[in-house]
Amino acid sequence: MNRRARILLALLLFAPAAVVADVLKPGDAFPAWSLPNQASKPVTSEQLAGKRYLIWFYPKAMTPGCTAEGQGLRDQFGKFESAGVAIYGVSFDTPADNAQFAAAEHFPFQLLSDTQRVLARQVGAADSSTQAVARRISYLVGADGKVLDTYANVTPASHASAVLADVH
């Protein structure tokens, strides 16, 4: 990778997320989805019907910002469980890359692969099917499948605490 490409990638991975106009808002229905987890087994929104969950999009497995964000969620996992909120990470990485990331960081939650960027485009985490990395954005989804909270300007190190402050 040449110097210019490395700089561009660094900007995408480490710059604060820009506020995106087409994000879902509280009260919006979260789209139906089916994505493979790190073991290549499908996870679907249908399986989660009646449950609350946080779905967090991250740019790239094994990068500093994504690792910090994942570690924060891992470290607060018990509080999410106590509140009845499941956690799912989503990136454009392959299931194998996500499996390596989950194992290295001892994540107790599943990481999902949206390699075709289908869900990401529906929820504002990508603008095109060729976007290199996911935009850092998260949604807290209610048991009824509607968005409870949107996190479009995520700070990786404090994201877990910010979400927990909103969980009722």
Catalytic residues: 66
Nearest Cα residue to 131 out of 33, 20, 32, 3: 20
If 0-12 CB within 10 Å is exposed, 13-18 middle and 19+ buried, where does residue 5 land? exposed
Nearest by Cα to 125 from 11, 15, 17: 17
As a whole number of angstroms, the distance between CA 43 and CA 143 comes to 16
Report the amino acid identity of residue 104. Answer: A
